[in-house]
Amino acid sequence: MGLTARVDARASAEAAAASGWARAPAAARLRVARALVPVVLGWLREGDPAALYGALAEMPPDWHPALRRLLTTQGLAPLVADVAAAGSGPSVERAAASETAGWLATQLEQNRARMGAFAEDLGAILAGAAAAGVPVMPLKGGLLAFTRYREPGLRPMADLDLLVHAADEPGLHDVLARLGYAPVDAAVARHRTFGRPGERVVALDGTHPGNPRTVEVHTRLQKTVWLDRGGVDLAPSLWSHAREDEVLGQPAVVPSDAALLDDLASHATLHLVRGGGMLLHWLDVARVAAGVGSIDEALSAWTYPALALAARAFPGRDLSAKVEALEPRVGSALARLAARAPLDDRSGLNLAGVDINALPWLASHWLRWRPNPWLAGVAYPHLPAPVAYAAYLAGVGVRAARKAVQHALRRGG
């Protein structure tokens, strides 16, 4: 059979598998997603296009839609596509029969276009803010994509995160308004979101340059582990460990590597305890940690879970030794949990491929609050497992009761 015939046959098989995959039981989809996580991590660690193409060629057709969904939800499609783009030779021809190979190339091309648009957005915002005398600190992807990756197109992101002082927030709002942005939701405790009127989601299958490019304005970076228990605002630390610099040729405030790592790791932990974790978060943590001499022990309650999992997912970046130095501070129970938890949904990765916040109230809170060893162990690391579960359930009850009372008072008022 010639190459063209093989491509057609494989594409037909994958199309049929994708149709069936959408109807497959959730448990079956989860099993495949769990099996694919170490495969994808191996591609990123080794950067071997021959191994990637060989795996694609041998992969069962019904795994391909699962792989594409996993790479989309975990933010890794452009990075895996970059590995694939370095390949040549017989292995490439073998994988040419895979629809996924073409999909990967499209994802990289689309994300390059999307990040080019984000670069124009961020450059205009920083220029406008500088003219208005408003110091702005880009965070997360808005900083990492343009400073930590070989090219911005390798790092997808959904929105721009910007930190400003509370007194400067109105000034930045004015800058955004002049650039055509408008608030898309009411102010919330953590941030306020701005977008361009009329923008709509164009595609859910991976990155797309036409999808909305929103801006989140933060004055606080409040981090909690579980049920708003304790917590810390990292904004003062980032401001006090920052310098005036340039991003995309425009004035910006840039945090130190150590302060940036604290924010990234605590943000990743927050998502992990809510079941919305991403492998991309772990990769970001590992990249930034490489430039940090030691990790701040004072914030280890919020940073350690993500740091420990990132060290396991991406070993060899000198992160393991830095994580081990934190173990006396976090305690042996949490250290054991982070060392043993499987690197999948059982440690908080979102393998279901759903936006928890977009679900109905009951469904979204069930996904966040359902009992599991990882959640109970991270929330109450100092307690034995049975007691941790009891404390966990009691905490859920107290939170639910408080929410119900607040709702009743609002309706009554």
Q: Average pLDDT for residues 157-185, to the nearest whole number?
A: 96
Compute the Cα dihedral for 355, 359, 361, 365 and give only its sign: negative
Tell me the C-alpha distance between 13 and 7, whole Å.
Answer: 10
pTM score of the predicted model = 0.88
Question: In the structure, what pLDDT confidence band is assigned to residue 1 with cuts at 50, 70 and 90?
Answer: very low
Average pLDDT, the chain: 87
Residue 297 predicted with pLDDT over 80: yes
- Mean local confidence (pLDDT), 1-13: 43
Q: Name every residue whose Cβ is closer than 8 Å to that of residue 390 and which is 6 or more positions away in sequence.
A: none
Measured CA to CA, the distance from residue 351 to residue 36 in angstroms comes to 10
In this prediction, residue 86 carries a pLDDT of: 86
Examine the pLDDT at 2 and tell me if it is beyond 70. Answer: no
**Token pair belonging to 96:** 């040419």
Burial of 401 (C-beta count, 10 Å sphere; 0-12/13-18/19+): exposed
Which pLDDT score is estimated for 317? 65
The phi, psi pair for 343, rounded to 5°, reads -80, 70
Cα gap 43→51, rounded to integer Å: 7
Which residue type does 397 have?
Answer: G
Q: Say which residue the tokens 């604290």 belong to.
A: 262
The number of residues in the chain equals 413
State the chain's maximal CA–CA distance in angstroms: 74
- When mean pLDDT is compared over 14-28, 105-119, 386-400, the highest value belongs to 105-119
CA–CA separation, 256 and 263 (whole Å): 11
The amino acid occupying position 243 is: R
First and final C-alpha spacing in the chain? 74
The confidence band for 208, taking pLDDT boundaries of 50, 70 and 90, is: confident
Q: Is the pLDDT of residue 187 over 90?
A: no
Reported confidence tier of residue 193, pLDDT bands at 50, 70, 90: very high
Q: Is the pLDDT of residue 285 over 90?
A: yes
Of 119, 102, 3, 22, the closest CA to residue 62 belongs to 22
- Residue 215, strand partner residues: 160, 194
Q: How far from 269 is each of 282, 310, 375, 392, CA to CA, in Å?
A: 10, 11, 11, 17
How does pLDDT run across 361-384, given as a tens digit for each residue?
667 667 666 778 888 888 888 888
**Angle (nearest 5°) at CA 147 between 145 and 148:** 75
User: In 76-98, which ranges are continuous DSSP H helix?
Assistant: 77-85, 90-95
Tell me the percentage of the chain whose pLDDT exceeds 70: 85
Cα(301)–Cα(303) distance, rounded to whole angstroms?
6
Q: Which fold has domain 111-222+241-253?
A: Beta Polymerase; domain 2 (3.30.460)
Tell me which amino acid residue 220 is.
R
What pLDDT sits at residue 6?
Answer: 41
> Domain limits of the chain?
3-97, 111-222+241-253, 256-413
Token pair 């694939």 in the structure block, residue: 84
pLDDT band at 351 (very low <50, low <70, confident <90, very high): very high
| Positive or negative torsion for Cα 78, 307, 390, 224 | negative
Q: For strands 242-247 and 214-218, give the pairing.
A: unpaired
Convert the pLDDT of each residue in 218-227 to its tens digit: 999 988 766 5
Bridge partners of 252, per DSSP, are: 245
Helix/strand/coil percent split, the chain, to 5: 60, 10, 30
pLDDT of 96-142, one tens digit each?
557 899 999 999 999 999 999 999 999 999 999 999 999 999 999 99
pLDDT greater at residue 177 or residue 14? 177
Distance CA 409, CA 413 (A): 6
pLDDT digits (tens, 9 = 90+) for 318-350: 899 999 999 999 999 999 999 999 999 999 999
Determine the angle formed by the axes of helices 279-289 and 26-46, rounding to 10 degrees: 20
Query: Quick check: 75 and 101 in contact, CB under 8 A?
Result: no
| 71, pLDDT greater than 90 | yes
